[in-house]
Amino acid sequence: MARKLLLEHINVPGINTLDVYRQKGGYRAVEKALKTLTPDEVVEEVKKSGLRGRGGAGFPTGMKWSFLAKPEGVARYLVCNADESEPGTFKDRYLMTHIPHALIEGMIVSSYALGAKTSYIYVRGEMMPQIRILERAIAEAKAAGFLGKNILGSGYDLELYVQPGGGAYICGEETALLESLEGKRGNPRIKPPFPAIAGLYGCPTVVNNVESIAAVVPIINDGGDEYMKIGIGRSTGTKLISASGNLVRPGVYEIELGLPVEEFIYSDEYCGGIANGKRLKATVAGGSSVPVLPANLTLKLANGEPRLMSYESLSEGGFATGTMLGSGGFIAFDEDQCIVRNTWNFSRFYHHESCGQCSPCREGTGWMEKVLHRLEHGHGKMSDIDLLVDVSKKIEGNTICPLGDAAAWPVASAIRHFRDEFEWHVKEPVKSLQGNYGIADYAVPIAKAEVKQEN
């Protein structure tokens, strides 16, 4: 059984309440940090742990914290990014729904480390039930003396608020999130200056994902050195993976980084294989913005070794044969799924969610969506395929924020690995109009039994 740090008590009845959460060891990290550690020592533990940002970018959290400017007399802020809306990713929603105090405890410890007196959890507006859950939990924590003035007699004050978003994927980008928190449209800011220098209200600010902040709790409880022992190489600790698509058991799983992808898909402890006895055709490993991989490259590296769930192993080979761990949004496509149709769907998403500030993204995402739509609906030309590659190249790297890259990579990678299927749509327009699902030859048949034998 894999070690669990965040979801260990997920099935305990009432774990969403302060009492049960404390019975299971909750708020020990707050007591330990505020009573026995200086803020710098907390930062040091997080640095030692090797924790990398769990929102997608994978930047070392402790290092990000140490960049925070600390001018005298200026407020500092911690903002939690709970604007989860990357297709394929639903782990933060799960964590907030079931163990809200894990996030709140992490917020208190992290705010203490950064010297923030006011912190905000920016939750996507659609998650109104989760907003209510967090508000209730914050009230409980405040009544118990974990928030407010002079917390646990330490002299440290902290106010924590939940801020609802308005329904915009772009607000998951940290500078767009700050703009939105200031009551504006979610247009990303040009960096530098980075939020660590000029963030919320122009003050030094750290923006961290829900899962990163929750992970600070076990790091403080057990020490950064202990956390670092879990995982593999520079991918330390555990990671929440949201699994969706054509799987026997989709859902949120906590894995130790370094788990073989094959075991994650096929073992009974995790996803239990591909639904309806089908074969695996392709995956998206880290949310819709990362490159799609065909089944064979999902399971094995180019040199034949097993691919692992880790930052390094998933990106092995660059974008030619690899992808990214991203936010941990794992989507599996079975042999009946049409790659062109799914690429079109993702393209529509990015077109809809582009903030419109940069021309390459605003115009390019719409262009890609249109071309993919006509390919999928039997009106495509062979030249459309290269046109898509060309447009994606012109978006990538040419925008203020990474949404442009996120829109370009799925299209470019789908054509890189599944070009035959795009050509099939041009050659067989009638079949594609009839809802035929492209080419199944990419699928890799792996029986559950074989995996068990290997183990």
Partner 1 sequence: MLKVEEQQPVEFSSALIAKCDEISNRYPEGKQKSALLPILHEVQAELGWLSSNAMDKVAAYLKIEPIEVYEVASFYSMYFLQPKGKYVLEVCRTGPCCLVGAEKLMEHMEKSLGVKEGEVTADGLFSWRGVECLAACGYGPVLQIGPEYTFYENLDNQKVDTLIEELRKK
Q: Under the rule (CB under 8 A), what is the footprint of partner 1? A: 75, 84-90, 92-93, 118, 120, 124-129, 159, 161, 163-169, 180-186, 201, 242-246, 250-252, 288, 329, 331, 333, 337, 342, 345-346, 349, 352-353, 355
* CB of residue 277 to partner 1, shortest distance in Å: 16
Q: How far apart are the first and last CA of the chain?
A: 13
In single-letter form, the type of residue at position 76 comes to R
Q: Which is nearer to partner 1, 163 or 432 (CB)?
A: 163
Does residue 310 contact residue 257 with C-beta atoms inside 8 Å?
Answer: yes
Cβ proximity to partner 1: between 114 and 127 the closer is 127
Q: Where are the alpha helices (DSSP H) in 10-149?
A: 18-23, 28-36, 39-49, 61-66, 91-98, 100-114, 128-143
Closest CB 243 distance from partner 1, rounded Å: 6
CB 332, CB 243: distance < 8 Å: yes
Cα–Cα dist 328/194, whole Å: 25
Given the complex with partner 1, which of 21 and 350 has the nearer CB atom?
Answer: 350
Shorter beta-carbon distance to partner 1: residue 278 or 307:
278
Shortest separation between residue 329's beta carbon and partner 1, angstroms: 7
Nearer to partner 1, 65 or 120 (CB): 120
What sign does the dihedral 145-150-156-159 (CA atoms) show?
A: positive
> What's the min distance (Å) between Cβ of 66 and partner 1?
25
Q: What is the sign, positive or negative, of the torsion defined by CA atoms of 227, 232, 236, 238?
A: negative
What is residue 220's three-state secondary structure? Answer: helix
Strands (E), 273-354: 280-284, 292-294, 308-309, 329-334
Query: How many other CB atoms are found less than 10 A from the CB of residue 162?
Result: 20
Closest to partner 1 by CB, 123 vs 196, is 123
Smallest distance, partner 1 to C-beta of residue 437, A = 11
CB-wise, 85 or 236, nearer to partner 1?
85
Minimum distance of partner 1 from residue 371's CB (angstroms):
18
Residue 226 neighbours by CB under 8 Å, 6+ apart: none
Q: How far is the CB of 58 from partner 1 (least distance, A)?
A: 20
Give the number of other Cβ atoms within 10 Å of residue 374's Cβ.
15
Least distance to partner 1, CB of residue 244, Å:
4
Nearer to partner 1, 227 or 349 (CB): 349
CB atoms within 10 A of CB 370: 15
Q: What is the DSSP string of 362-389?
A: HHHHHHHHHHHHHHHTT---HHHHHHHH
* Residue 295 and residue 281 in contact, taking contact as beta carbons nearer than 8 Å: yes
Task: Pick between residue 263 and residue 353 the one whose CB is nearest to partner 1.
Answer: 353
349 three-state secondary structure: helix
Closest distance of CB 166 from partner 1, Å? 3
